[in-house]
Structure 1
Amino acid sequence: MGLVHTKAIVFKTIKYGDTSLIVKCFTFEEGIRSYMVKGVLNSKKGKLKAAYFQPLTQLQLVANHNNKNTLNSIREAQIVHPYYTIHTSVVKQTIVLFLSEILAAIIQEEEKNEGLYTYIETALIWLDTHTEVANFHLLFLLNLSRFLGFYPDTSESEKIGFNLVEGSFTNSLHEKLTLYNDKLLLLKRLLGINFDAINTISFHKNERQTILRIIVKYFELHLEGFRQPKSLDILETVFN
């Protein structure tokens, strides 16, 4: 068992018994790790507080990591990027719940992935510090696919369709799982932009629902075992 100092982003928290939590984190140093945090729910004086383990909170940890398939333990934790608006905005909270559910489901590797960690960290700080965030989750997911190895191939974007299975543009008229016309235009508006250009895109609510369901379908096709997130309906309700 080794002592590790690492940044970590909370992906998922499960209550264990009356007073404890099992917390799944994406750590900067060693990828996904799960921790048993004992007694944190009834502790007034302990060093660890339940508030540290809200979805997508960014922490600095001192932790014991073991290399067996058992839960790790946290010695010390502190919040490294306190959020100022995420906890007070219903829209941002809903986005965070939705994205934490997806991230917890798809990122499983117990190894360092500096690029992916930095992307998630930076994106969350952007979300906290900006007000125009209605399309944030769309762009977050689409750009996340780059780190997962299936970002759309945009080299032939002048073609008439986009095949979701192949992840590339096509001139075939009748392929299954292919976007044409309006749906294709929705996808094209998101391709190749970063968060700072997000306010240049405007989707009305039906368009936003449509492109979100397309992106979720794209993830289903490219990630084995990926299921439509439970929080998808809540997200759509909030944006209505």
Structure 2
Amino acid sequence: MPVVATKAIVFSSIKYGDTSLIVKCFTEQEGLKTYMVRGVLKSKKGKLKAAYFQPLTLLQLTANHNTRGTLNSIKEARVFPMYETIHTSIVKQTIVLFISEILSNIIQEEEQNEILYNYIETSLIWLDTHSSTANFHLLFLLNLSRFLGFYPDTSNEESFGFSLLEGSFTNKSYDKSVITGDNFLLFKRLLGINFDAIDIISFNKKERQKVLQVIIRYFELHLEGFKKPKSLDVLESVFS
């Protein structure tokens, strides 16, 4: 059974029995891995703490990775880097729960994807170290689509609509998957920018909800089996 040292991002953890956790992590070295962390809810003295496995915690792991499809095990873990603000901000915690649910839903491959890993890690560190984060989840999801293969084609920008199905600008306003008017203009403002330019976008509560609905619909059309996140209602209430 190979021992692997890797960076990892916690996607989810589920209680197993009274004392253990089943933890899903996206690792830098080998993609998605599921670990059985035995006794972590009981032991005060063990090397592993339950707090390490909060959604989207960044870890350095030494782990046994099985090749037979059974659950993997963690030998050592440390939180690195440690967040400074995410765990003390209700808004940031809510964003993190929402994003972790989406990532758990859509990332399934058990193979290295360093570019995607770096994007998620860099984004989380940005979220932790900045205060203007109300639109973070919108830009995170839209830019995530680049790594999943369906980022909007930004040619023909002079068109007055955007086809969510085709992922491109269009003038076919009769098509049900085409957004026009306010939704189109709001969505267009997010295209082509990175997090450092997020301050130039100001959405009010209603606009932010509209844009999020458009992005969720976009993901539904491009990812088979994509489920609307349960944490969406919590997110909307925090921003209301």
The reply to whether TM is greater than 0.5 is yes
Equivalent in the alignment of 2:37: 37
Q: Distance in 1 between matches of 2:92 and 2:111?
A: 29
3-state SS of paired residue (2:92): helix
Residue 7 of structure 2 aligns with an amino acid whose one-letter code is K
Tell me, yes or no, if structure 1 residue 86 matches structure 2 residue 78: no
Q: Distance in 2 between matches of 1:3 and 1:178?
A: 49
The one-character-per-residue Cα deviations of 1:125-167 (angstroms, maximum 9, x if unpaired) are 0000000000000000000000000000001111111000000
- Give the unaligned 5+ runs of structure 2: none
Q: Distance in 2 between matches of 1:224 and 1:125?
A: 29
Please give the residue correspondences for 1:153-192 in structure 2 after superposition, counting only pairs within 5 Å: 153-192=153-192
Q: Distance in 2 between matches of 1:69 and 1:93?
A: 32
Please give the residue correspondences for 1:211-222 in structure 2 after superposition, counting only pairs within 5 Å: 211-222=211-222
Tell me, yes or no, if structure 1 residue 233 matches structure 2 residue 233: yes
Identity %: 72
Q: TM-score by structure 1 length?
A: 0.99
Runs of 4+ in structure 1 displaced over 6 angstroms?
none
Equivalent in the alignment of 1:206: 206
- Give the unaligned 5+ runs of structure 1: none
Q: Distance in 2 between matches of 1:237 and 1:213?
A: 14
Q: Distance in 2 between matches of 1:148 and 1:90?
A: 29
Q: Distance in 1 between matches of 2:67 and 2:141?
A: 31
Please give the residue correspondences for 1:142-161 in structure 2 after superposition, counting only pairs within 5 Å: 142-161=142-161
Aligned residues: 240
3-state SS of paired residue (1:137): helix
Equivalent in the alignment of 1:56: 56
3-state SS of paired residue (2:173): coil
Q: Between 154-163 and 53-62, report the one with greater CA deviation.
A: 154-163
Tell me, yes or no, if structure 1 residue 77 matches structure 2 residue 62: no
Q: Distance in 2 between matches of 1:5 and 1:237?
A: 40
Q: CA RMSD in A?
A: 0.5
Tell me, yes or no, if structure 1 residue 122 matches structure 2 residue 111: no
Q: Distance in 2 between matches of 1:238 and 1:173?
A: 34
**Per-residue deviation at 1:173?**
2.4
Equivalent in the alignment of 1:7: 7
3-state SS of paired residue (2:88): coil
